[in-house]
Amino acid sequence: MSMETYLNFSQDNLWGELWPELSLCLGALLVLGFDLFSKSSNAKKRAGSLAIFFQFILLAAHLFDYLLLRHTFDRESFSGMLKHGIHQDVMRSFFLLSSLLVSLLGHRYLETRKLRVGEFHHLTMIATAGLMLLCQTQHFLVFFVALETVALCFYPLVAFDRESPKSLEAGIKYLIFGALSSALLLFGIVLLYGVGSNPEAWGTTLSTVPSSDAFSFSFLYQLLSENPNHLLLRAGVVLIISGIAFKVGAAPFQIWVPDVYHGAPMPITAFLAVSSKSAGFFVLINLVNGPFAGMSEFLLPLLGFVATFTIFFGNLAACSQRNLKRMLGLSGVAHAGYLLVAVMASMLLPGESDRAVWILFFYLFTYLLASFAVFGVMGLARVTDDSEHEFSDYENLAQKKPWAAFVLVVGIGSLAGIPPFAGFIGKLLLFSVAFETKLFLSIVAMVIGVVISIYYYFGWIREICFHPRPVFEDDEAKHDPWKDVGSVGMLKPALFSLVLASIVLGLWQGPIGDAF
């Protein structure tokens, strides 16, 4: 290698582009250090406030940076291993917002349950930095490293409540399934790399020899579009997509979802539901429109089957759940199915898959607003065991805590996709883009899925709003989880702003609507 190559490398390594990730990692270390060196337990609590404050400033700075200061053109760095642009920036602020909300929920959660503060926020922030990096990769090595960073943070987070056997069990389950999905993914990547690094030996053809190596997306795009029928390449692609399907909880790799959601601490359940899933979808939509674009004819029926199966499995399985965390997990599986339809639509929109990406963003954003509202209120309940949220715990909430009931009902309504909440607009856009791309069977599946979902979502609303069964004198005195909720501090305005955003976005999309 000549000096010139090194020069090019050094000029190309634009660390400045990664400032949000770097400062987030720095902040994570600060939080950890603060927690380590502060003596009293009271001071340790302040590590949480520090984490929230830091992430808030970072989110504001990042929004300011790319919305107001910088042009939003696409650019590459690190020899084409990373790509930065408006999509990536939107996703980065999405993850920052989600992580901020997780820290907010976690702040109160850790306090009431006397759990360690510093590690929680530290791991959350590192995981978020990993997710932010993940959505910018153009190279399977960086991709895998970022993904593993995220996964390694999630394993301890899921098992964070070490006193609770459910949480530990969920941690083990997540570890095993996560390892399996990483193995599938890695195997897929290796297959593509193996064929790509010596194309002739495997009977593939390449018209021009590209400059980049066989891990990079641009190389794989060329390889796959010239050899869409090659068996090993197909196997590699299917394995990679299976690995991602694990992360987003799409059938037939959804089996871990209810168990892990069930056991994980509430803020982490929300984190898994929103950030982890969104990252998976962003990566998937980039892969199928980027390196895997040449194989879309092969992938479409496959994804179509997966989407339909996911929608039906998620909704039908959620109907029979009495535990709300499991139900939300399975309804999240159903949402993954709807989002897969957006991914399919993006493959069918020639040259303007951009629109499908924006629709995916909008849907994910409405999902974030609704999910955090719901999980936020659920985190308030002082149920004896955090894993066991039953329908009956929410009986008559509307009279016990009207504001919490209001937030919860709006959140559920938005998840169910009823107007005038933002979730409805998300579903409407999804329907319209699916119709445009003639995915009629998927639309039918979505409509049936939404109607089934009304059953369990409204079942919950019914518990919250409508009169409970009469109380008899010989009834056992039941623990009321809403009796001593105590002060909620910052959480209340945060939850209300989520709800407000859900309603406003449902009625008026304004400038966001123009993006489509």
Partner 1 sequence: MTSDALLLLGSILVPAIGSVLFFSGFAKDEGSLKKLGYLVFGFPCLAAVILFFRFDGSAGYNFEVLYDRMGLQELGITFHLGLNGVSSPLFAMAGIVGLGAGLAALHSGAERMHLYLALLALMQAGLMGLFASVDIFFYYLFHEFALIPTFIMIGLWGGRDRRSIALEITIYLTLGALISLGGLVALNILVDAPKFDFPSISAALDQSSLTDSAAFKIYGLLLLGFGILVALFPFHTWAARGYDTAPTSVSMLHAGVLKKFGLYGIIQIASPLLPEAALAWSPWLMWLALGNILLVGMVAVAQTNFKSMISYGSVMHMGYCFLGIGVCSVLGVGSTVMLMCAHGLSVSLMFLLANFVRKRSNTLEMQEIGGLGEKTPLLACFCIAATLATIGLPGFGNFWGEFGIFLSLGESHEHLIFLVLAALGIILSAVFGLRAIAQIFFGQESEELRKHAKESPIADLSRAEIIPASLILVALLFIGLWPASISDRINDEISNRYSHLQLKNTLSKPSCCPVDEDVKSIETPYSTSD
Decide whether 232 or 465 has the Cβ nearer to partner 1: 465
Backbone angles phi and psi of 420, in degrees to 5: -95, 30
Task: Find the part of the chain contacting partner 1 (CB under 8 A) among 51-59, 125-133, 235-243, 414-422.
Answer: 414-422
Cβ 354 to partner 1, closest distance in Å? 12
| Angular region, 418: left φ>0, alpha ψ -120 to 50, beta rest | beta
Decide whether 141 or 512 has the Cβ nearer to partner 1: 512
Q: How far is residue 155's CA from residue 139's CA, in Å, rounded to a whole number?
A: 25
Binding flag, residue 179, partner 1 (CB under 8 A): no
Binding flag, residue 396, partner 1 (CB under 8 A): no
Binding flag, residue 462, partner 1 (CB under 8 A): yes
Q: How far is residue 415's CA from residue 378's CA, in Å, rounded to a whole number?
A: 15
Position among 63, 152, 432, 504 found at the interface with partner 1 (CB under 8 A): 432
Task: Find the part of the chain contacting partner 1 (CB under 8 A) among 276-284, 295-303, 447-455, 491-499.
Answer: 447-455
Cβ 398 to partner 1, closest distance in Å? 9
Position among 22, 447, 490, 500 found at the interface with partner 1 (CB under 8 A): 447
Q: How far is residue 150's CA from residue 279's CA, in Å, rounded to a whole number?
A: 10
In the numeric block, which tokens belong to residue 93?
């602020």
Binding flag, residue 451, partner 1 (CB under 8 A): yes
Asked if 13 and 6 count as a contact pair (C-beta separation under 8 A), the reply is: no
Decide: helix, strand or coil at residue 11. Answer: helix
Where is 500: in which H helix or E strand? helix 491-507
Where is 75: in which H helix or E strand? strand 75-77
In the numeric block, which tokens belong to residue 55?
């992430």
Q: Which residues contact 54 (CB under 8 A, 6 or more apart)?
A: 27, 30, 31
Question: 471 to 510, contacts with partner 1 by CB under 8 A?
Answer: 508-510
Asked if 442 and 304 count as a contact pair (C-beta separation under 8 A), the reply is: yes
Question: 312 to 371, contacts with partner 1 by CB under 8 A?
Answer: 355
Binding flag, residue 513, partner 1 (CB under 8 A): yes
Binding flag, residue 466, partner 1 (CB under 8 A): yes
Asked if 106 and 119 count as a contact pair (C-beta separation under 8 A), the reply is: no
Q: How far is residue 94's CA from residue 88's CA, in Å, rounded to a whole number?
A: 10
Amino acid type, 43 = A
Decide whether 61 or 444 has the Cβ nearer to partner 1: 444
Position among 61, 392, 455, 479 found at the interface with partner 1 (CB under 8 A): 455
Cβ 448 to partner 1, closest distance in Å? 9
Binding flag, residue 391, partner 1 (CB under 8 A): no
Decide whether 59 or 446 has the Cβ nearer to partner 1: 446
Decide whether 290 or 420 has the Cβ nearer to partner 1: 420
Decide: helix, strand or coil at residue 272. Answer: helix
- Applying CB under 8 A, the residues found at the interface with partner 1 are 355, 418-420, 424-425, 428-429, 431-432, 435-436, 443, 447, 450-451, 454-455, 458-459, 462, 465-467, 508-510, 513-514, 516
